[in-house]
Amino acid sequence: MPSGLSRRLFRFKGGVEPDTHKAESSLTPIGKAPLPSRLILPLHQSVGACATPCVRVGETLLKGQRIGNADGWISAAVHAPTSGKVVAIEDRPSAHASGLPTLSVVIEPDGLETWVERAPLDVTARSPDEVRKALRDAGIVGLGGAVFPTHAKLTAAKSTAIDEVVINGAECEPFMSCDDLLMRERAEDVVRGASIFRDLLEPKRVLIGIEDNKPEAARAMRRAVEALGFDFEVVVVPTRYPTGAAKQLIRVLTGKEIPSTRRSPEMGVQCFNVGTAYSAWRFVALGEPLISRVVTLTGNVESAGNWETLIGTPFEEFVALGRPKPDTERFLMGGPMMGFEIPDLSAPVVKACNCVIAASSSLFPPPPPEMPCIRCGACAEACPHELLPFELYRFSRAQKFDKAVELSIDECIECGCCAYVCPSRIPLVQYFRFAKSEIDARRKEKAKADATRARIEQRKAREERLKAEKAERLAAAAVKTSGAGGGDGADAAKKALIEAAVERARLQREAHPPKNPETPASVEAAEKTPDPAVNPGDATR
Amino acid sequence: MDFISPPYLSRNASVRSVMARVLFALLPGVAVYACLIGPVILLQIAIASATALAAEAAMLKLRGKPLRPFVTDGSALVTAWLIALTFPPIAPWWLTAFGALVAIVIAKHLYGGLGQNPFNPAMVAFAACIVSFPALMSQWPSLTLETRFIDQILAVLGVSKELDALTSATPLDVLKTALRLAPGTPIAETLSDTKIHGFIGSRTWECVAAAYLLGGLWLLRCKVIRWHAPTGFLAGVVALSAVCWLFDPGRFAPPLFHVFSGGVVLGAFFIVTDPVSGCASAKGRLIFGFAAGILAYTIRVFGGYPDGVAFSVLILNLCAPLVDLMTRPPVFGMKKK
Ligand code: SF4
Ligand code: SF4
């Protein structure tokens, strides 16, 4: 049923319908951003562990050469987006709300664009694990903004078969159109990319969700699916922010609601962004690692549009492509709902960067002063996770964090719907972020304390074990000496004594089995707590 | 160029626009009131508004809060209008002013100001005044006599000599007296008295109520209020009055009469819908409204006061946090199948 016309859709509660402002940037085809004068590549560009640098300052690089190795399973490699020379490996300002510097490889392009040797990946000849590892080493991460390493999402849960693979082309954030343009212009490659995910996860269905404000993209994708002869369903969903958030899109397409305590494969579904599918295909078909992405440049600019941009392009060079108007006050990375102000334009475009918006106070008027909450309940009605934002706000403000946790603040995806509707103009999301970071810090502290306690217990157990073993040894030695020479009666008494000691030692050993408090953090834990340092923009997709 | 927290977009709602719409929705009711009962209500609204705003400003100053955003947020005006509309129109000026003072100073600011008050300020004012000045709070203008505007004004200014000539028992009073003093008299007989009965509710007041209803429906339409609390409240009044009426039509007035008498419609759309002192969840609001409706009818018919809306709302205000606690909706992904 490739048309998908008859699929029953579900609704999620809440959500808002801001002006989409998509037309501005979606009228022109994707352009190719020119080679910048310098490329800055943060090594930490995905959720999970920071990649470890594998090049030296002064080294000459080829385009596509790996410059950072994935460190562990929840991590992804980083590559040189062009050929040139490594001029520095040092801390540089990052594309993060905090602007905190992060370890980066700085490359001076030689302008030759000489590629490393590229080879397509024969997926059929490789084991699934080899394919996953190859994707990790190609630096493929979620391009919706959450930058979760894609290979780590390509394993089905042990207990449940995958029913649906959801390909996310909803793109619900206003102003953004990079996924729209990608689907319109490169639909077949997106669909082929989706087929890689299908082959690894073996779902019953592949559903491609696209909001109904992108009819052209939906048509292009349908044509592509038909042309390639796949049985994927292209499903047009109502435009409603945040439909493009993974959990909301999964809800709309499948009716499943995934709580934050579970991973989606456990419920038989997994979701990928269309850009991720595209870059996975580029890697499999051409051997190209992830070195560029489509970025929307819009807002208060003379010419809005989308650019195929090399990862590492400094924002100052990138934003110049759109010719920002003189009254531009700031630049946002991500959409206007979940994005943040780029604190330093010398920071580079990263894999998480889907959109840059030039902002002026006429485009985004500064909010009036915050008023007290009047408990109107508008925020609760708008919250797609059916939380009670006004209560969360009350408890966050009063620093009653355990109450906030009780009211499921962990479920909050920081989508901003609550703040969008609030008549008192309370920056609710800001309060929630503060509360969450405090809660997180406390949890970490507690985990540390627990680990310390466990360590101490372990040491105590070890000492006791040693003591017991010593007693055993002594006892054994006593047997030997007594065996060497002695009367029969004394011998029997000694033997009984020894047996008692051995038994005591055994009992003690059983009471204190060796413990290992430092179990490595599980894969799941890492997946459930996306690292904020690399997870700044539209983290929902 | 200060830091702005995301989202950068907003629906551009404000407390002021919410309050302004509530005031706007009250206009039809005020107009009908002024035409049919007497333009003196406009004077009362002015007295209440001026007092409330002055009290608001003074309290803000005392509490060291910024004046401008709060005085202009319109919340004090809504309280003032509700006081004027629930007090007798010929109440002396100082009583109205006293009510406004109680509402703003005690019920609002002593509890922490906008958004913090556990009780509906206008209802606190009504309760305080009816307890302290029961006689003055029961003087409703007679609708059968041709009262002149000037007489009403004199009454408000407190210089009228023959106040008694202006007033008469309200239809609800008549009903209650009939129920108490002459249990034998069939209610139909009392109600057939055209001095009391209009088309469906209390004579003349039913028109004012209909105008409130109009404003209330408009508020619903532009989503300033939600349907749960008003529906619950009306359902509560109708349910209990229907039970009583069906049980003994000789002694109890029909439900429709009750809905269109006294403060029920005003209460349903403008008082039980107060977000601050009410419940926040949809289910909570339904329960809040329904319980208030039941109580309002009980107090009105069996209690010692002419109408029960104020007391029922205050009692429910007290229960609102508990109701909210018990009606917490399940969050996304945590629903029981
Ligand atoms: S929308 Fe704002 S004012 Fe209304 S309940 Fe939520 S936080 Fe309070
Ligand atoms: S930001 Fe959090 S609380 Fe607010 S609407 Fe989104 S999920 Fe709900």
| Ligand 2 atom index nearest CA of A383 | 5
Q: A176 at the B interface (CB within 8 A)?
A: no
- The C-alpha atoms of residue A262 and residue A438 are separated, in whole angstroms, by 23
Ligand 2 mutation pick, A387, A428, A430, A432, max ligand atoms within 8 A of CB: A387
- The C-alpha atoms of residue A74 and residue A520 are separated, in whole angstroms, by 12
Q: What is the pLDDT of residue A98?
A: 80
E-strand spans in A329-400? 330-333, 340-341, 355-359
CA torsion B231→B234→B236→B237, rounded to 10°?
A: 180
From A19, A247, A375, residue closest to B276, measured CB to CB: A375
User: Strands A355-359 and A330-333, how do they pair?
Assistant: antiparallel
Domain boundaries, chain A: 1-32+121-287, 294-359, 459-528
- The C-alpha atoms of residue A438 and residue A446 are separated, in whole angstroms, by 12
Q: What is the pLDDT of residue B249?
A: 81
Q: A423, B2: Cβ pair inside 8 Å?
A: no
CA nearest neighbour of B292 among B324, B315, B265: B315
Q: At what angle do helices B121-132 and B309-326 cross, to 10 degrees?
A: 140
Tell whether the model's pLDDT for residue B149 goes beyond 90: no
For chain B, give the percent of residues with pLDDT over 70.
89
CA nearest neighbour of A278 among A403, A191, A400: A191
Helix (H) or strand (E) holding A225: helix A215-228
Query: 3-class DSSP state for residue A485?
Result: coil
Cα–chain center distance at B31: 17
Helix (H) or strand (E) holding B282: helix B282-302
> ipTM score here?
0.89
DSSP code of residue A314: B
Position B65 confidence tier, pLDDT thresholds 50, 70, 90: very high
Q: B5, A375: Cβ pair inside 8 Å?
A: no
For chain B, give the percent of residues with pLDDT over 90.
62
- The C-alpha atoms of residue A384 and residue A11 are separated, in whole angstroms, by 10
| 8 Å CB contact between A297 and A322 | yes
A278-282, A438-442, B1-5, B303-307: least confidently modelled range: B1-5
Q: A339, B276: Cβ pair inside 8 Å?
A: no
Position B183 confidence tier, pLDDT thresholds 50, 70, 90: low
Q: What is the pLDDT of residue A469?
A: 86
User: Strands A305-310 and A31-32, how do they pair?
Assistant: parallel
- The C-alpha atoms of residue A355 and residue A339 are separated, in whole angstroms, by 9
CA of B229 to the centre of ligand 2 (A): 25
CATH topology of domain A1-32+121-287: Rossmann fold (3.40.50)
Q: A377, B332: Cβ pair inside 8 Å?
A: no
Residue B221: partners with Cβ closer than 8 Å, 6 or more residues away? none
From B4, B10, B334, residue closest to A420, measured CB to CB: B10
Position B185 confidence tier, pLDDT thresholds 50, 70, 90: low
Query: 3-class DSSP state for residue A70?
Result: coil
Place of tokens 């003690």: A508
- Report the residue count for chain B: 337
| For chain A, counts of helices (H) and of strands (E) | 13, 17
Q: A255 at the B interface (CB within 8 A)?
A: no
Tell whether the model's pLDDT for residue B273 goes beyond 50: yes
| 8 Å CB contact between B28 and B214 | yes
Cα atoms found within 13 Å of the Cα of residue A242, Cβ hemisphere only: 26
DSSP code of residue A350: -
Q: Which architecture, in CATH terms, is A294-359? A: Roll (3.10)
Q: What is the pLDDT along chain A (541 residues), one digit of tens a residue?
A: 444 456 789 999 999 999 999 999 999 999 999 999 999 999 999 999 999 999 999 999 999 999 999 999 999 999 999 999 999 999 999 888 887 899 999 999 999 999 999 999 998 899 999 999 999 999 999 999 889 999 999 998 888 999 999 999 999 999 999 999 999 999 999 999 999 999 999 999 999 999 999 999 999 999 999 999 999 999 999 999 999 999 999 999 999 999 988 899 999 999 999 999 999 999 999 999 999 999 999 999 999 999 999 999 999 999 999 999 999 999 999 999 999 999 999 999 999 999 999 999 999 999 888 999 999 999 999 999 999 999 999 999 999 999 999 999 999 999 999 999 999 999 999 999 999 999 999 999 999 999 999 999 999 998 998 888 888 888 888 777 665 554 565 666 667 676 776 777 676 666 655 444 444 444 444 444 444 444 433 444 4
Cα–chain center distance at B288: 15
- The C-alpha atoms of residue B211 and residue A410 are separated, in whole angstroms, by 46
Q: Which residues in chain A touch residue B14, judged by CB atoms under 8 angstroms apart?
A: 368, 371, 423-425
Cα–chain center distance at A495: 65
Q: What is the pLDDT of residue A25?
A: 94
- The C-alpha atoms of residue A273 and residue A277 are separated, in whole angstroms, by 7
Can you spell out the DSSP letters for B62-109? HTT--HHHHHTTSHHHHHHHHHHHHS-TTS-HHHHHHHHHIIIIIIII
Q: What is the pLDDT of residue B178?
A: 66
- The C-alpha atoms of residue B223 and residue A126 are separated, in whole angstroms, by 58
Residue ranges of alpha helices (H) inside B142-227 are: 149-157, 163-166, 171-181, 187-192, 205-221
- The C-alpha atoms of residue A72 and residue A197 are separated, in whole angstroms, by 21
Q: What percentage of chain A's residues is helix, strand, coil (to nearest 5)? A: 40, 15, 45
Q: What is the pLDDT of residue A343?
A: 92
Q: What is the pLDDT of residue A492?
A: 67
Q: What is the pLDDT of residue B26?
A: 97
Query: 3-class DSSP state for residue A482?
Result: helix
| 8 Å CB contact between A370 and B4 | no
For residue A531, the tally of other CB atoms under 10 A from its CB is 16
Tell whether the model's pLDDT for residue B107 goes beyond 90: yes
For residue A163, the tally of other CB atoms under 10 A from its CB is 15
